Amino acid sequence: MASFVLLFGSFGHAWQAGIDKSFGALEVGDSFNIGSGFFNRVKSIAVQNDGKMVIVGNFNLYNGEEINHITRLNVDGSRDASFLTGTGFQDEYSGYGVESIALQNDGKMIVGGSFTAYNGQLTNNLIRLNANGSKDASFDIGSGFNSSYNGSVKKISIQNDGKILVGGQFSSYNGQPAKGLVRLNADGSRDSSFIIGSGFNGGNGSTYISTITIQNDGKILIGGQFEFSPNEYYCIDQGQKPQPQYTTEESCLSAGFCYDKNGTIEGETEQSCINNGYSRQTWNFSWTQIKRKNLIRLNTDGSIDSTFAYENIFHNLFSVNDITIQSNGKIIVGGVTNTMMASFNPFAVLAEGDTSNIFRLNADGSIDNTFIAGAGFLNGYNPARVSKTLIQNDGKIIVIGVFSSYNGQSANGIRRLNTDGSLDTSFNVGSGFTDGGLAANIYDIHLLENGKIIVGGEFSSYSGETINNIIQLNADGTNNTNLKKNTVTGFDDGVFALTIQNDGKIIVGGRFTSYNGQPTNGLVRLNTNGSIDSVFDIGSGFNDGNGSVYVYTTTVQNDGKILVGGQFYSYNGQPANGLVRLNTDGTKDSSFDIGDGFDDGNGSAYAYTTAIQNDGKILVGGGFTSYNGDLVSGLVRLNADGTRDASFDIGSGFNDGNGSAYIYTTTIQNDGKIIVGGQFSSYNGQPANGFIRLNIDGSRDNSFDIGDGFNDGNGSAYIYATTIQNDGKILVAGQFSSYNGQPANGLVRLNTDGSIDSSFGIGSGFDDGIGSAYIMTTAIQDDRKILVGGRFTSYNGQLANNIIRLNADGSRDNSFDIGDGFDNEVDKIVIENDGGIFVGGYFTSYNEETANYIVSLIGNIPVYIPNSSDLLNIKDEFNNKGYEYQNVETFGDVFFGNSKISLKETSGKILTNLHIISENTLRLSLPQNLQFKKSDSSNYNGIIYPPTTYSVSNVDNKPILSAISVGSPSESLTLTNGAATLGIPAPTSSIGDPVSIYSSQNGVDWIFEKGGIVSEIDGQSYVSFTTNHFTYFAIAGSTGSFVINNDEASTLSQSVNLTIAAPTATGMRFSNNGIIWSDWEPISTTKSWVLSEGYSEKTISAQFIANGDIYTTSDSILYTDGTSGNGTSGNGTQGNISLTITGGVTECVYGTSLTMDAQEVKIGIPYTFTGILSFCLVLSRL
């Protein structure tokens, strides 16, 4: 489907035929449903403002679906299918995959790790993605990151000014040295104002930055595994024991020192030591350069912040993995320790002699001794790691990582600490995380707005429950994740019946036994959002005596009671042979008594169709020979209490030649007559092949003549669906190949007398590749478009899997984009009041997305343009089906004053684009047939509706390529200070063809708007033009041309309009190319002109001079050889054309194309110069 993408912004219109994701979400309360979870570790999680979560890591599967290292989850844990990552990330080297992600304010995301490509596009370890998962081409990293280890990005932090800090294990960025840390501008270029000198070092290539935290003042805390050597020195005493106020070098076994922060040379440092009570003779001084290890604070320009105290405790940390700043400015630091290293290093000295891998610093970098971690986190004889800390609003600290105990108490991968460092025993994590019986690796944690906690890592269980690599916890630490693997949403078997109540609730019947995992045998009522209506209680539901059920028909009476028919013997344990009536709460209506019900003599009778007359009587059709002991073959009419209506006499009823018959559809006309379709060959002993119309009393309506009726080529036919249009015409669908001897493959439209409606053409009709296609259901929209469902793979030779929408004339509606369609047959389609489409059947997927036997598709759903300029209210105003509010510039912006928002349609498709410039100025780009309404003259508080194709055969005797209706005389949009660009398809035209554009207020009286040419948009032929009003528009083209040479062929001519508006003209000249002109000459009534050589489109330009000013106009004709019809073949000779200017307007034939059966024809519109001179263009064959 084509659309115009405006550079100044866009508004995402819901994808017609796209899945409405708001319907049918799995009912798991507020739990987080991950199914089988991730296959391999989750490294990092980013939570969007809308609650969705972007997950990155080493995984390649989520809940059984293939995804490569990145995906986005909805708030309920389901995968967000609108996040399109293609083949995802490719990693040729380390196997570390994707390690870090950071969200920008505009919704774009920076992703880093160890990878070489994304979705087949080269990108070395860093990329920026748009909100829909596509690569943001405006972010250019050049050759990206590299080192002798091929580079890896471990941490990304975004500053308030949009600049991006990137840390990891790398030595260069885009070919320039960058050891461990770099700052990028918003476009991906390196920020040269951020200078870190030679960068970070650690020896043996093991240096890396693992965490970056930006303070409110812009200073930057860096943690990892590194040494950073500034130009500062120690003064070391080799003979004294360490004192608490001293720090030490890691290489010293025992030492004390005095430290001169300002001394930068040996002499100054020595003097400082002497002044503080030390002397070289006494203490045997030596000097060494300071090596800040694993933690440092930088100023905004990359220089070291010397005001940040350096504590040598970081030498005991193998690496610093996390830095988190509390609201009071204190800093929680966590990292990796090695228990053996601690035992041999007496200089890892903290308050009271504690050693730990978590501690708290004051804002100046000094140790906060009020935070007591004791022995900290340990992991038996293996290194323990604190991966991340999360500070709650109450100040408590959740810690995750690789550890088995905290300060001597069990702690497997997660624990919560009080503000003083003591263990918070109220946080109930049970036995915590494990990974196949080994220690789990927990990498990331986030606190959600609802107080719940999302955790990702490498684990297979939590507190003894199997769960893979991601989990949502309640605020108290208990599990809030649904552990059902491969949970099936929707139904577990086929859906045959769908009926929408007046309140919008949906009655669903079929062969199923459960919905969203909850038992419901054959029938269920759903709320408008797809959840089960618990008020409607069917108990044990339906049963056929063999443990199965088939509900084929549901019909709602005016009083809200529900008729249910099918193949069953009981309902909720009570007898109900083929038919039952239910109260609004699902209980059986005891006032409706069917006695013994239906029978076919073989114990397999069923009711397939029900219809309620205006008088409350009930028609029931199906496969049966008796009702409550009375012989009725295939059709019966019941009174409101369930008794048989004896006044409805069908005689011997229906027969298929074998003593039986099956009625599949009954439809009541406005006049009370009854349309009946099914599998039969006679009615009451008279031929009636598959279809008949009955009078109110059951007698045959002889005014309705079907002739030979329907046939499938084997002497029979199956009519499954009949639908009556507002004009009384009847759509008939089923499995057949002809009607009354005329081809009709699966679908036909009949006039009210039973004859074929020849204005409805389906071409070769429906096919499934094996000659057994059939149509099960049809539904007509308010705009007369027709939805068709069944079992087929093509329509009129074009791919269409089991569903299609047709225009009123039977042609395919290409604006209804079904993609790959359904994977199995569609049995029922119903349309909601708001235009949404419910589909039921035997399918389990739609357009490659899971859809188990039922789905809600986006149809003619209005989109409301917000009346408010308040961003706080706009989100609610845009709360329409198929829409998702996002701050995403990628999809364009809708501007309200100085504010801007964006809307992203959940499928990722953008079909409508608009830009509101000011209150009275709007620019709008519309795809085919989109209707825009405006309710008042000041605010755009209107609605956009999906399309209405307008049928008009010609305008001014010109053939019409395409016509649309946008608005109506009572509800049209007229812009006083702005204009909209409309795009109308021209499917039968070639690119560059000239066209005429007409408009009408009533669809009857047409006004020429302007000329145009056919252009290409997304591979389709379109005509685009600008207008400030929205009513009816028609595009007129040409099927031939004016023949100028002297052959015998005659075709339609093409108007040539040389329109000029000027004062009284005194001179004129002409040109074939607009460059080389004839000499000026006085205005005359006759001018002979020679066209350029060759068959092609010819442009004639004219200039008129008046009072010294020149006025130019031009138009084109198609010059052909009279046989090719397209003006592009043949060599042709120069053609002579006579331009005759006449003084009388009445002599002109305005805007009319004529057959060239004469030597001369007058074509054009009058040229009027201030009312003095009027003339028209006359073309003559010479």
CATH number where 640 lies = 2.130.10.10
Whether residue 209 is predicted with pLDDT greater than 90 in this model: the reply is yes
- Please indicate, yes or no, whether residues 1115 and 1086 belong to a single structural domain of this protein: yes
1024 vs 759: CA distance, rounded Å: 29
In a domain, 1158, yes or no: yes
pLDDT in tens, 716-744: 889 999 999 989 999 999 999 999 999 99
DSSP code of residue 1078: P
pLDDT in tens, 290-307: 456 788 999 999 998 888
Mean pLDDT of the chain: 74
- Please indicate, yes or no, whether residues 386 and 527 belong to a single structural domain of this protein: no
* Phi then psi dihedrals of residue 556, to 5 deg: -100, 125
3-state secondary structure of 351: helix
Give the pLDDT of residue 1081: 80
Tell if the pTM clears 0.75, that is, is over it: no
Q: How confident is the model at residue 312 (pLDDT cuts 50, 70, 90)?
A: low
Give the pLDDT of residue 94: 53
* Phi then psi dihedrals of residue 268, to 5 deg: -65, -40
Mean pLDDT of 968-974: 38
In a domain, 432, yes or no: yes
Give the pLDDT of residue 933: 27
Give the pLDDT of residue 33: 80
- Please indicate, yes or no, whether residues 640 and 783 belong to a single structural domain of this protein: yes
Q: What percent of the chain is modeled with pLDDT above 90?
A: 42
Among the candidates 838, 857, 876, a domain finishes at 857
* Phi then psi dihedrals of residue 732, to 5 deg: -125, 130
* Phi then psi dihedrals of residue 59, to 5 deg: -75, 160
- Please indicate, yes or no, whether residues 995 and 1025 belong to a single structural domain of this protein: yes
Whether residue 347 is predicted with pLDDT greater than 70 in this model: the reply is no
What single-letter amino acid sits at 377? F
Report whether 567 contacts 548 (CB < 8 A). no
Q: Name 60's Cβ contacts closer than 8 Å, sequence gap at least 6.
A: 39, 40, 66, 67, 68, 69
Whether residue 674 is predicted with pLDDT greater than 80 in this model: the reply is yes
Mean pLDDT of 531-555: 90
Whether residue 1158 is predicted with pLDDT greater than 50 in this model: the reply is no
Q: Strands, DSSP E only, in 783-930? A: 786-791, 794-795, 798-799, 803-806, 826-831, 837-841, 845-846, 849-850, 854-857, 863-864, 883-886, 894-896, 899-905, 913-918, 921-926
3-state secondary structure of 940: coil
Region for residue 1047 given its phi and psi (left: phi exceeds 0; alpha: psi -120 to 50; beta: otherwise) = beta
Q: What percent of the chain is modeled with pLDDT above 70?
A: 67
In a domain, 973, yes or no: yes
Give the pLDDT of residue 800: 95
Which H/E stretch holds residue 507? strand 506-510
636 vs 630: CA distance, rounded Å: 10
Report whether 114 contacts 91 (CB < 8 A). yes
Position with higher pLDDT, 159 vs 466 = 159
- Please indicate, yes or no, whether residues 1086 and 1023 belong to a single structural domain of this protein: no
Give the pLDDT of residue 945: 39
Give the pLDDT of residue 226: 83
In a domain, 985, yes or no: yes
Q: How confident is the model at residue 64 (pLDDT cuts 50, 70, 90)?
A: confident
- Please indicate, yes or no, whether residues 874 and 843 belong to a single structural domain of this protein: no
122 vs 113: CA distance, rounded Å: 14
- Please indicate, yes or no, whether residues 219 and 244 belong to a single structural domain of this protein: no
Walk across the sheet containing 465-466 and list its strands. 438-439, 433-435, 461-462, 465-466
- Please indicate, yes or no, whether residues 512 and 435 belong to a single structural domain of this protein: no
Whether residue 617 is predicted with pLDDT greater than 90 in this model: the reply is yes
Mean pLDDT of 136-161: 88
Instruction: Tell me which of 274-278, 323-327, 793-797, 1175-1179 is least confident.
Output: 1175-1179
Whether residue 976 is predicted with pLDDT greater than 60 in this model: the reply is no
333 vs 371: CA distance, rounded Å: 11
Whether residue 1020 is predicted with pLDDT greater than 80 in this model: the reply is no
pLDDT in tens, 866-903: 433 443 444 444 444 333 333 322 222 333 332 222 23
CA-based nearest residue to 806, from 775, 771, 827: 775
820 vs 804: CA distance, rounded Å: 11
Instruction: Tell me which of 452-466, 634-648, 908-922 is least confident.
Output: 908-922
DSSP code of residue 352: G
- Please indicate, yes or no, whether residues 851 and 876 belong to a single structural domain of this protein: no
In a domain, 333, yes or no: yes
Position with higher pLDDT, 936 vs 1015 = 1015
Q: How far apart, in Å, are the Cα atoms of 724 and each of 692, 730, 828?
A: 14, 5, 16
1066 vs 1028: CA distance, rounded Å: 36
Q: Strands, DSSP E only, in 966-1005? A: 980-985, 994-1000
Q: Strands, DSSP E only, in 1046-1095? A: 1067-1071, 1081-1082, 1086-1090
Instruction: Give the tokens for residue 210.
Output: 């693992």
Mean pLDDT of 512-538: 91
Mean pLDDT of 1151-1179: 34
Report whether 892 contacts 25 (CB < 8 A). no
Report whether 38 contacts 454 (CB < 8 A). no
Domain total of the chain:
5
CA-based nearest residue to 419, from 363, 368, 455, 383: 368
Whether residue 327 is predicted with pLDDT greater than 50 in this model: the reply is yes
Give the pLDDT of residue 322: 95
In a domain, 622, yes or no: yes
Region for residue 226 given its phi and psi (left: phi exceeds 0; alpha: psi -120 to 50; beta: otherwise) = beta
Instruction: Tell me which of 556-570, 790-804, 856-870 is least confident.
Output: 856-870
Cβ neighbour number for residue 655 with a 10 Å cutoff: 18
Region for residue 404 given its phi and psi (left: phi exceeds 0; alpha: psi -120 to 50; beta: otherwise) = alpha
Whether residue 7 is predicted with pLDDT greater than 70 in this model: the reply is no
Give the pLDDT of residue 110: 98
Mean pLDDT of 37-44: 92
Q: How confident is the model at residue 659 (pLDDT cuts 50, 70, 90)?
A: confident
Mean pLDDT of 971-986: 48
525 vs 509: CA distance, rounded Å: 9
Among the candidates 1036, 1052, 1082, a domain finishes at 1036
517 vs 189: CA distance, rounded Å: 52
- Please indicate, yes or no, whether residues 750 and 771 belong to a single structural domain of this protein: yes
Integer-rounded Cα Rg, in Å, for the chain is: 39
In a domain, 12, yes or no: no
388 vs 332: CA distance, rounded Å: 10
Instruction: Give the tokens for residue 395.
Output: 């100040």
pLDDT in tens, 576-597: 999 999 999 999 999 999 999 9
Whether residue 534 is predicted with pLDDT greater than 60 in this model: the reply is yes
Q: How confident is the model at residue 1034 (pLDDT cuts 50, 70, 90)?
A: confident
Give the pLDDT of residue 249: 35
Residues spanned by the domain of 998: 868-1036
- Please indicate, yes or no, whether residues 326 and 465 belong to a single structural domain of this protein: yes
DSSP code of residue 133: S
Among the candidates 987, 1014, 1036, a domain finishes at 1036
Position with higher pLDDT, 975 vs 686 = 686
Q: How confident is the model at residue 355 (pLDDT cuts 50, 70, 90)?
A: low
- Please indicate, yes or no, whether residues 267 and 343 belong to a single structural domain of this protein: yes
Q: How confident is the model at residue 399 (pLDDT cuts 50, 70, 90)?
A: very high
Instruction: Please state the length of the chain.
Output: 1182
Whether residue 787 is predicted with pLDDT greater than 50 in this model: the reply is yes
In a domain, 1050, yes or no: no
